[in-house]
């Protein structure tokens, strides 16, 4: 008995000595984290692809309340933006690709207009904490007022139907960035993930769309576009283009990512790549048709959310979240880690420098990796880059300066006077 107690004492003493020896390293890590957080909070941090507007049409969902991806799939809300030091970014007007028929295009147009209205309604409802932004200088002004910054973008210009001039109306509502396609080819051009290559690049209408982006001062966004569309956008745009949420093909060979040669061309033309955190684009994910069918069935039950009561919608989403957890146990898939995400960012930074790289995590659109599950973890990017030797000036560019520079170039390069901005806080 006494011998056992003696061993326990020796073990405790040894453990205490180990803790004392480790204390300086622990203190250094804590000091590094504190310094990184303090620096992060001095920056104006913008993410160029936020899909959170998808939740604005969900009955009862409130951006001012803290939510959890585990229970309702969301990754962005005001409390988590504050926690992660995310000042705002480009809130996406996203429309899934549908049939290229008059009925399909009209439905898409209506969906996009309602999504744009939902963004403005959210800002109006929470005007003490959020504000619409239209020009590059709005970001610093709104950050100084401690308001979250809401630029708007279009992901998939399919809703423009057969009339690209509808983009003028979206511009008047505040859209300052637009991409032509999503997962499938459409009337504007070819998608990176559609093997058909309908147009071998942009369609004739797609070239008109690009010219109108330049005329209005809208940043052309080549994320989701095929390599041929990227090449034609880069060659045809009078101002720099952006990849609002993409990765590096040299790190993971996926058609949604960009190869090194094109990345250098993007930088040479003044553009920027914003690194995506969607796991499938960061690491190899084996195909599993059974899992995909089951996942499709789960999310099919959520298509009528907007017609439900708040209680019904909350219950339906919670049930779907539970079903997805069960599906993940049944069909586990590899998930990228924070280090996998940083591998893409560090590769891009090494290749083209901090003047042409930024953050576009694709929150609420599939983004999220182990160790960085939602926007509450955004500050970790700053901490990791500081550890790699990047300085505050570099981080200021990465976290918003680059996209604002590209937006300024787009607006300075306008070929005609801008359309009037619909009221809603901010302006040019």
Residue 24: its pLDDT value, please?
52
For the chain, give the mean pLDDT. Answer: 92
What does the pLDDT read at residue 30? 59
pLDDT for 426 = 41
Comparing CA positions, the residue from 379, 359, 397 lying closest to residue 35 is 379
Question: Is the per-residue pLDDT at 18 higher than 60?
Answer: no
Say if CB 247 and CB 256 are below 8 A apart. Answer: yes
What does the pLDDT look like over 24-41, one tens digit per residue?
555 555 567 889 999 999
Q: How far apart are the first and last CA of the chain?
A: 80
Output 8 or 224, whichever has higher pLDDT. Answer: 224
Tell me what the mean pLDDT of segment 415-422 comes to: 64
| pLDDT at position 338 over 80 | yes
Q: What is the mean pLDDT of residues 306-311?
A: 91
User: What is the reported pTM?
Assistant: 0.90
Burial of 145 (0-12, 13-18, 19+ CB in 10 A): exposed
b/e map 307-318, b = 16+ CB within 10 Å: ebeeeebbebbe
State how far the Cα of 140 lies from the Cα of 132, in Å rounded to an integer. 13
Is the per-residue pLDDT at 19 higher than 60?
no
pLDDT in tens, 171-201: 999 999 999 999 999 999 999 999 999 999 9
Q: What is the pLDDT of residue 361?
A: 98
Q: With contact defined as beta carbons under 8 Å apart, do 401 and 87 qualify? A: no
CA distance 28 to 350: 27
| More confident of the two residues 305 and 152 | 152
β-pairing verdict for 272-275 and 130-132? unpaired
Task: Supply the pLDDT for residue 1.
Answer: 39
49-70: b or e for each residue (b if 16 or more CB lie within 10 Å)? bbbbbbbbbbeebbbeeebebe
How many CB atoms are located within 10 Å of the residue 385 CB? Answer: 24
pLDDT at 22: 53
Strand, helix or coil for residue 48 = strand
Tokens at 201, concatenated: 């690049």
Higher pLDDT, 10 or 412: 412
Q: Residue 363, CB half-sphere, CA atoms under 13 Å: how many?
A: 30
The CB-side HSE value for 367 (13 A sphere, CA atoms) comes to 31
pLDDT over 70 percentage in the chain: 90
Residue 88 in contact with residue 46, Cβ under 8 Å? yes
d(CA 12, CA 7): 8
User: Residue 76 — φ and ψ, nearest 5°?
Assistant: -135, 125
Q: Answer for the pair 63, 52: CB distance below 8 angstroms, yes or no.
A: yes
Q: Is 303 helix (H, G, I), strand (E, B) or coil?
A: coil
The pLDDT value given to residue 155? 98
How far from chain centre, in Å, is Cα 220? 16
Q: In this structure, are residues 403 and 355 in contact, taking their beta carbons and an 8 Å threshold? A: no
What is the reported pLDDT for 306?
A: 85
**What's the confidence (pLDDT) of residue 7?**
44
CA distances for 10 relative to 16, 49, 292, angstroms: 10, 55, 56
What is the per-residue pLDDT across 246-285, written as a single tens digit (0 to 9) for each? 999 999 999 999 999 999 999 999 999 999 999 999 999 9
Tell me what percent of the residues of the chain surpass a pLDDT of 90.
87
* pLDDT tens profile 63-88: 999 999 999 999 999 999 999 999 99
Q: How many residues does the chain have?
A: 428
Determine the Cα–Cα distance for residues 427 and 138; give it in Å rounded to an integer: 8
Q: How far apart are CA 91 and CA 48, in angstroms?
A: 8
Contacts of 138 (CB under 8 A, 6+ apart): 131, 149, 426, 427
Q: How many CA atoms lie within 13 A of 358 on its CB side?
A: 31
DSSP-assigned beta bridge partners for residue 89: 47, 150
- CA 143/CA 154 separation, integer angstroms: 23
- Find out whether 98 and 158 touch, Cβ atoms under 8 Å: yes
Residue 16 has pLDDT above 80, yes or no: no
Query: Residue 393: pLDDT band by 50, 70, 90 thresholds?
Result: very high
Question: For residues 125 and 23, which has the higher predicted lDDT (pLDDT)?
Answer: 125
What was the pLDDT predicted at 293?
95
Q: Predicted confidence band at 238 (pLDDT cuts at 50, 70, 90)?
A: very high
- How does residue 4 score in pLDDT terms, banded at 50, 70 and 90? very low
* Average pLDDT of the residues in 162-166: 96
The whole-angstrom separation of Cα 304 and Cα 122 is 21
Neighbours of 374 (CB within 10 A): 24
Per-residue confidence at 418, pLDDT binned at 50, 70, 90? Answer: low
Position 428 scores a pLDDT of 40
In this prediction, residue 15 has a pLDDT band, given cuts at 50, 70 and 90, of low
pLDDT band at 45 (very low <50, low <70, confident <90, very high): very high
């Amino acid at each position: 008995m006494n011998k056992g107690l003696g061993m326990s004492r020796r073990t405790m003493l040894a453990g205490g000595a180990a803790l004392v020896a480790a204390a300086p390293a622990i203190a250094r890590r804590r000091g590094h984290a504190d310094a990184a957080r303090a620096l992060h909070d001095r920056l104006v941090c913008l993410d160029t692809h936020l899909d959170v507007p998808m939740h604005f049409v969900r009955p009862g969902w409130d951006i001012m309340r803290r939510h959890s991806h585990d229970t309702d799939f969301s990754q962005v809300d005001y409390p988590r933006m504050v926690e992660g030091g995310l000042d705002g970014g480009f809130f996406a007007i996203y429309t899934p690709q549908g049939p290229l028929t008059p009925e399909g295009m009209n439905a898409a147009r209506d969906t996009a207009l309602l999504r744009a209205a939902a963004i403005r309604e959210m800002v109006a409802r929470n005007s003490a904490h959020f504000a619409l932004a239209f020009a590059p200088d709005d970001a610093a002004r709104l950050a100084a007022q401690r308001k979250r910054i809401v630029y708007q973008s279009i992901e998939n210009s399919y809703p423009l139907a057969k009339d690209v001039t509808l983009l003028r109306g979206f511009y008047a509502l505040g859209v300052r960035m637009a991409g032509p396609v999503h997962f499938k080819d459409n009337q504007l051009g070819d998608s990176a993930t559609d093997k058909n290559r309908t147009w071998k690049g942009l369609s004739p209408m797609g070239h008109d769309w690009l010219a109108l982006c330049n005329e209005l001062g809208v940043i052309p966004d080549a994320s989701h576009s095929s390599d041929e569309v990227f090449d034609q956008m880069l060659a045809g745009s009078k101002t720099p283009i952006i990849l609002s949420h993409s990765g590096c093909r040299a790190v993971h060979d996926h058609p949604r990512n960009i190869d090194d040669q094109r990345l250098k061309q993007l930088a040479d033309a003044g553009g920027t790549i914003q690194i995506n955190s969607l796991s499938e684009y960061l690491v190899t994910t084996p195909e599993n048709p059974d899992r995909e069918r089951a996942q499709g069935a789960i999310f099919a039950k959520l298509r009528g959310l907007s017609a439900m009561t708040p209680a019904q919608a909350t219950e339906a989403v919670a049930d779907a979240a539970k079903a997805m957890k069960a599906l993940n146990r049944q069909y586990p898939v590899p998930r990228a880690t924070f280090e996998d995400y940083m591998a893409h960012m560090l590769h891009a930074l090494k290749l083209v420098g901090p003047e042409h790289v930024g953050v576009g995590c694709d929150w609420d659109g599939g983004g999220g990796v182990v160790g960085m599950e939602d926007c509450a973890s955004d500050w970790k990017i700053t901490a990791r880059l500081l550890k790699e030797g990047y300085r505050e000036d570099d981080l200021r560019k990465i976290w918003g300066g680059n996209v604002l520079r590209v937006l300024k170039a787009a607006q300075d390069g306008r070929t005609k006077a801008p359309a009037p901005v619909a009221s809603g806080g901010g302006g040019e």
